[in-house]
Structures are given as C-alpha cells and as structure tokens.
Amino acid sequence: MGSTAPSRDSTFEPAEIELHGRFFRYRMAGKGPLVVLLHGVAGSSETWVDVMRRLSGSYTVLAPDLLGHGGSAKPAGDYSLGAYVNLIRDLLAALDLPPGTIVGHSLGGGVALQFAYQFPERCERLVLVSAGGLGREVHPILRAAALPGAELVLPWLAVAAAHGIGAATKTMGKLGFRASTDLGETWRSFVSLGDPEARRAFLHTVRRVIDLRGQLVSATDKLYLASEVPTLIVWGDRDPLIPVAHAYQSHAAMAGSRLEVFPRAGHYPYLEDPERFAHLLVDFMRATKPRRFDAGALGTRLRTGAPPPPPSVRPSTSAQASR
C-alpha cells in the first residue's frame, strides 16, 4: 500500500493513498473528533473545502473523492452503494481513523445511510444533506441517465458546458434550476464528464441507483434502526433535484432525528450558506452523544421489527422543523 502524506493543514491540498491497487484522493485537515464528508454524484472533495475550513479548528475533517470521481481511480467495476461503503471503511482503516460523524450529500447521503447500516460501529452520528435513498422522486435530468444512448449524449453536454455557462443557464432554467449554486454546480458536473472514464463511472453509478421511474435504492424500510444513531437532516426548500418532501417524511420516520430546512436554498445548502451549515453541524455534534454500538441491542431491534409507519407529513414552509 502506497500513499502520499496526509494533509492536515489549512491549505486542504489533496493527498493520495493506494487501496487494492488503485489510487484514491482525499483531503484531510484539523485535529479532534472525526467528521467524514461525502460528496454527490459527479462531484469531488473540493465541494467541501469551505465547510472544512470552518470545522478544522476543532475537528479532524476527512473528505474523500469517491471511486470514479475527482482524482480517484475510475475503473470499470462495481459502483453500487455497498462498494462505495466498503471503500470508505477501508480508507478510514488505512488512515487509522476512529469512528466519527458521517456526513453525506445527495449520492453521498445514500452512501452515508448504507455506511451506518453496514458498519454501525464506525458511525457515531449521521448527517444527511439533500440525500438520495429516501424516496422515489428525483429530477428527470438524472432519470435520463438511465435511458439507452445516454452515453452518446453526455459527451455533447460536457463539450457544451466546457464552452461556458451562458448557454447552459437558459437550458437549465427551463429544467427548474435557478441561476444560483445549483446551476453552477450542475454545470461543473457536466464539465467533469468530458473525461471518458469519469463519464463511464457516472453512468455506472447512476444506473445502480436510478431508473426511468426514479430512485431504485431506498433506505425507508430500515430508517427505524436510525433511532439508535443521532441524526441530522438538512435540506434546501427549493431543491430541484430531490424534493424537500423526502426530508419531512424521513424526519417523521427517524425517531429523535433533527431536521433543518434552509429557506430559499436548493440542492447544495452547505455551499449556499457554509457558515450556517458549519455552525449547525457543530451545534448538532455538541448537543448529542456519539452512538456506542451494541450488537446485542441491534439484534433485539431486528427481531422486534419496524414500528408501524408514521402518518404522512405535509411539507412545511417554515425554515426549521421541530426537533
């Protein structure tokens, strides 16, 4: 196993480590309790730098480039949620890091949910930000990746995006994206797909979790287990990609969870207001005790089964849901 030295200084420069014969890129900074930040599809660890800057004074913050993303390897292979989770576990073990708070955005939220389920002993708290895996509905732009021939269209979108955001603004506006962080991040995602290997990884990933009808993978039947884990759910009330209704429904299904909805924010609330997001995250971690995994308690809960489903919850227009 080879690696470059981990970066824990204020520059947040990426480092690399070799796992299973493949290189993975990550950013790490700070000292203290561990916080792991997982990005969304077609993203990278760079998306978390503003948040890392605000947390690294009191926490060890790790933000990896997921397999097939950013500067990490992009092999032909398994891009299931389980495969992502296994590699995150291996990265934490290789870096000799303790259990910590797992934060996931969009696809990374689905990975975080799966991580908490597969490796509960390594997840002290769970933070879901505009997370996938909490409902069927998803924007048609992601469902389109499941269409036959999408691999032929994506190169054209990448080329168009690379020539500037101006033309993209009009098209994306028609699809429900405001001239905001959502538009800028979606544009950058399309630019990244100009690389054939990144494009292949994107399609493999999306097609494992989304089909023409919406999200394929759902954690809703296991959310009752999350009552054992302090959980924070963060969403933008104008998210065009994954509806905020998923936040309210999941909050109702996860006993003891905390829900924070950012008004006038889209799919990237942590980018639209990183100061508020970091303050919220720190407040949540200070106000909750880390989960201590108890295999016996888990076994009892599994044998008992899920409680009756909660009543349907209508999305609220308030900036903050009750805790």
pLDDT of res. 306: 61
Report CA torsion sign: 221, 35, 55, 230: positive
pLDDT band at 305 (very low <50, low <70, confident <90, very high): confident
Beta-carbon contacts of 200 under 8 Å, excluding residues fewer than 6 positions away, are 68, 74, 76, 151
CA distance 129 to 247: 9
267 has catalytic annotation: yes
pLDDT of res. 173: 54
Contact 106, 213 (CB under 8 A): no
- pLDDT at 310 exceeding the cut of 50: no
* 239 secondary structure, DSSP code: -
106 has catalytic annotation: yes
pTM: 0.83
- Mean pLDDT, residues 125-148 taken together: 82
> Where in 89-246 does DSSP place strands (E)?
100-105, 123-129, 210-211, 214-215, 231-236
pLDDT of res. 50: 95
139 has catalytic annotation: no
pLDDT of res. 178: 54
Element (H, E) at 24: strand 22-29
Interval 82-117: pLDDT, tens: 999 999 999 999 999 999 999 999 999 999 999 999
Which of 239, 250, 251, 273 is an active site residue?
239
Helix (H/G/I), strand (E/B), else coil: 175:
coil
* Domains located in the chain, CATH noted: 15-138+217-304 (3.40.50.1820), 140-211 (no CATH)
CA distance 6 to 28: 7
Contact 16, 3 (CB under 8 A): yes
Which of 65, 237, 267, 273 is an active site residue?
267
- pLDDT at 171 exceeding the cut of 60: no
CA distance 209 to 140: 14
Count CB neighbours of 146 within 10 A.
17
∠13-18-20 over CA atoms, to 5°?
Answer: 150
∠309-288-117 over CA atoms, to 5°?
Answer: 50
Which of 56, 106, 180, 257 is an active site residue?
106
